[in-house]
Structure 1
Amino acid sequence: MTSCLRPGSLIAVIAMAASGCSSALSGNAVTSTPEAPVVKLDSQSDAVFANLKACDLLEPTTTPKGFDPPVVETAESDNGCAAQKRRYASVSIYLVPEAGIDQLSPGQGTKIPTKVGGREAVEIPGDSGTEACTVAIAVTPNARMTASTSLNEGTNEEACALARELAVAAEPKLPRVD
């Protein structure tokens, strides 16, 4: 009689429960999750974002809303992306490996502490004047992601709602640093 279980093999139990048992294949079960990768770095490392691109975080939210295709931008860091929707808004996401949310200037606004996906974050209504907002998420003490909006017409609150939407959509894809 062939058995899929080896004594003490939790992976085999999980694999058997998930996909059945086969004596034809050997090896360990590998599962994948859509969660962000856990990055084993110190919080000072420039490699915290590895191969993650800001446009990959921005595009899934902006395209369904009718924004133009996102373009690479380098105003806040070398890893930024922006998109515009004519007569409505311009939006951007930046991955900033060398400055955390504490180093973010509030511009004309005021930093309001908040959380996004369980991570420390700040919301800055009116950071670049009226009809604007930035939501910044801490990835490490010295690295952040920012999602910013600037509306053609509207209020800071409306701009913050869009910036929060961008941040909430991008947050699960950000690395988790141990």
Structure 2
Amino acid sequence: MSTVTIPLAYLGTAIAVLAVACRLRLPGTSVHKFVLIGGIAGCVMLAQLYLEGGLGSGLIATALCYAFLCELYIFFFTMVGSSISASMLLRLRHGALPEQTVAERYHPKMMVEERIGNLIQVGLMQRTPAGILILTPQGDKLNSTFRRLQLFFRHTDPETFRTPARGNFR
């Protein structure tokens, strides 16, 4: 098999196992599940390739191809998941909706509330009893990572990722 065929087969297997895992309603987001399942599939693939041919350029090329395909899958998966158009089409597949209902559902205020809800659900943000939105420690870590990557790639904008003054909200 080729450097592309093997990773495609393992990616297809990982996606099939992900579909089963999502239907079983296991804890975690779909992305977390895919990272775990795809990581295990990748390790199995590497073990198989190593046993068949040892450590060499073919193994490295196949591993890089698999990593690229997994990243591409996650990118498209999350892009579709956050796409307004895709969301609208998925809602309409269950039946027709009046235009007013669609307009209300996709009103900018609703879209912001949905994004805030998603950030709270995955643990990056929390709402205080006073209704103030703050980053969780996990959100702080992610923000720090973004900041380090921004500095590493020299994408500096003084206002981006600026640490705000903190109150006693926690």
Scaled to the shorter chain, the TM-score interval is: under 0.3
Structure having the larger proportion of residues in helix: 2
Question: Which gives a bigger RCO, structure 1 or 2 (Cα 8 Å, sep 6+)?
Answer: 1
